[in-house]
Every structure is written in C-alpha cells, then in structure tokens.
Structure 1
Amino acid sequence: MRFVEALRRNGVHGRRRDASPGRRAAIAAVFRTHQGREQVLFIRRAVNPRDPWSGNVALPGGRQDAADGGDDEATAIRETLEETGLDLRTPHWERLGRLVEDRIAGGGPKSLAVAMYGFAARSEGGESHVALTLQPTEVAAAWWYELWGLTLAFFSDLLRASSAGQPLVGEGAPPAFARAFTASAQSPVARSAAWLLESVRLRGARRTALTLAGASTMLLAAAVSVGIAVARLK
C-alpha cells in the first residue's frame, strides 16, 4: 500500500483548526488493498434538500455530536459506521491519525471545522470487515476506488499547471508524497498512452488504428524525403 506506507513512514499528520462558533465535523479516508491494488472508499450522499452536500461524492463522515466528547477521530469512526457499516474500532483497522490540516467550511456563525482521519485495513480486501452496509437515508451509493497510477498523476499535473491547489504527488506535493511517488503523466509514454485511450474512446479502435497508420505513413514518407535530399547534397 504505497500511500499508506508513505503516511506511516513519514508521519504526515495535520494541525487542528477551530471554526469561530466551535462547530466541528470529521471525515474518514478509509484505505484497503484488493488484488494487490490500493483503494480508498468513496460515497455518494443521498439527495436531501436539507443537506448542503446533497448528492455529492464524498468521504464518509459528518458533524460532531456531544457523544463524541470533542474527539474528531471518534466522530469520523461513528459517522463511518452509521453511513457504511464499517466498524473502524476493530483490530482489523489501523488508525493513521489526522492526515492533513483541518479545513474551515463556510464563514461566520455557520462556519464548520472539518478534520480528516485515516484508516487502513490490515489485510487484503474482500473479507467481512470491508463489506459495506449503507444507510439509505444518508448514502445513495459507495465504492472502493483506485485513485493511483495515471489518474493520480494527471490530477496532480492539473493542479500543478493550474495553481488551483497543491499537487497530490510529485513536484510541489507534500514532502512525504513527493518522495514516495513520481508523476508519470509527464513522461512521453504516459502522454502517448493517454492520447491513445482518449482517441479510442472518441473515435473507436478502427478509426484510431487508421489514424496511426496514416501518421506512420506520413512519417515514413518524410523520412524518405529527407534521406533523398541528404543524398543529393552529397
């Protein structure tokens, strides 16, 4: 688990921040490995006109209750259990702590401090402790998603190029992840693979093959022309 190993090895933990009215919430980044691939759990919130995040794709979590005793991690654990049926208190799960600095959502009397805590399954996914039981009034769907490889690299490059936020991996990423990963989207091979996949999606395999064949023919003709010109100069 590369991401979890980086968290473990470098001790990336965030700083607590407080919203002015003292309102708090917490979310859980829940990791597992499945068939050797590292995945994180995402949910889609149920449609509810009273919920400002109605229908959004998100991580499990929610507002802090008095029963949580002001403990952000307890909030993340309780909300995850209520929404997805995963009990992060059991020995099957490793607690990774507060992963990043808290974010303040909103402003004024309605501002909310949101903390993010990490949890990692101690064994390969597929066992009963990673089975999901969704609370339909709060969660419409949930899935384990692999946000690594080219997808992770491309999102990092997008954030880096647009200055919209800190890259997830590679140059400009938090030090722990800049060292643990390489943004492969910058390589010619990755760019070529991305173009090929997008071309197949838009044009179909046959038209893409014809395009490649045409480009190869043009390159060959250009190479022959250059060779003839060089021979004549000699």
Structure 2
Amino acid sequence: MAPRTAVVSGGTRGIGLALSLRLADLGHHVYALYRGDKAAADRAAAAGGGRIEPVRLDVARPERVREGCARILAAGGAPSVLVNNAGVNRDRPFLDLDDEDWDEVLAVNLSGPFRLTRALAPAMRAAGGGTIVNIGATTAIRPRTGGANYCAAKAGLLQLTKCLALELAPDIRVNALLPGFTDTPEVVERYRLDDPARRADVLRTIPARRIGTAQEVADALEFLVAAKSDYVTGQQIVVDGGNFMG
C-alpha cells in the first residue's frame, strides 16, 4: 500500500520539523515546505529517513503555491493531512510598523494557509476527505506589545479555521493548534530565554513552571489527525502549560 501523503508548510525547522517527523513516524510521506533555508531542508530530509521530502515553496507568493501544489498532487496524490505551520515575525511598536512589516506577516501567516488550503482541499475532498491543522499562537487570543501584525494574522487564522470547518465539512476536519512558549531556537532568541533572569520571569507566568517542547506540540497534532478525534472540528487546542486560560 502506498504511504499516505501529508503537507507541512514551514516543515523543516523548529516546531514544523517536529510535526513533519511525527507525521512521517505515523506512516505519511511528508512534503515539508520551506522558503529558503536549504541547509535546514537537507537536515530534515536526512532526519526523516526518506519519509520527508522538502519542497521549496514560498506560501506568500500565490503563483508559487499554485505551481508547487500542482506538482505535489501529481507526484503524491491528495494529502490526507495538511498542516499550515509556516510563520514569520516582524515585531515593531505599532507606530513603527511599515507596510512591508504588515504585508509580509499577513501574507505568510494568514494568506498562506488560505492559499494552500484552497489549492489542496478540492483534491482532498475528492479523495474522500482528510484533516487540516492550522498552527496558531496564543497571541491570537491574548495581545502582546510590538506584535500587532502577528497577533492580527493569528487571530484571523482562528476565524479562518472555523469558516473552513463549516464549509469543508463533513469530508475535511479543520482545527487550530496553539503552542505557547516552546523550546525552539527561534522562540529562545525572540524572547531572550537564554537569559536566566528572563527565563525565570517567563516561568512564573506558566502554571506548569517549564517551557514546552516541540514534541508536546507534535503529540497534540497526532491526536488531531487520528481517528480518535473524528468528532473534533472547528476547535482550538492550546498547548502552553496553562499560560493562557480563556
């Protein structure tokens, strides 16, 4: 039997790599999309042992999404899983944000999932259905200083998740997964978690008193793509050690 196909945007680094590896372990052939870091893509392919196939694709460019998804469908057929994980930050105080800061963050974090889903969902539905998981952030439901563009994009992604869950049902389930502080190089650098005093300040806000791991985010993804979650759609699952309780 041919392996099931999965597509993970931003799937070669950080949380995205953990998600790609978990889907590969579950028996999927994973097309891991990346924008430009070829070295990270090569490492992901090696770590996947032939089950992860990096595909260079900038989700912010509509023509690249159309062309790349057409190639994926021709090579691997309709995916049973789509994970919209690609993201970018351009943090600035609101009055210092320029058009490029705003447009790039919205293009990757919100328009990217829209375009990938639009390109792949018809084939998924025609093949009998599947699961879409949008990777959000707790800043979608709790604002932070300096992140108006990112927070707005992630908040929009939550509403897109719910709209897709309504319109693609019953064939395709759509949910959002919201990681909190997660121990990846990008998060450590952005929040200065390598500074013991700064890390201690952050830990005081987390009831679990520790930073999460990418594997714990992958655990939640595993639930959302499994048959055990067949009655779960249009929902958001927060994985943050209790840092946010809405």
TM-score by length of 2: 0.26
Instruction: Name which structure has the greater RCO, CA cutoff 8 Å, separation 6+.
Output: 1
Structure number having the greater strand percentage: 1
TM-score by length of 1: 0.26
Give 1 or 2 for the bigger CA radius of gyration: 1
Structure number having the greater helix percentage: 2
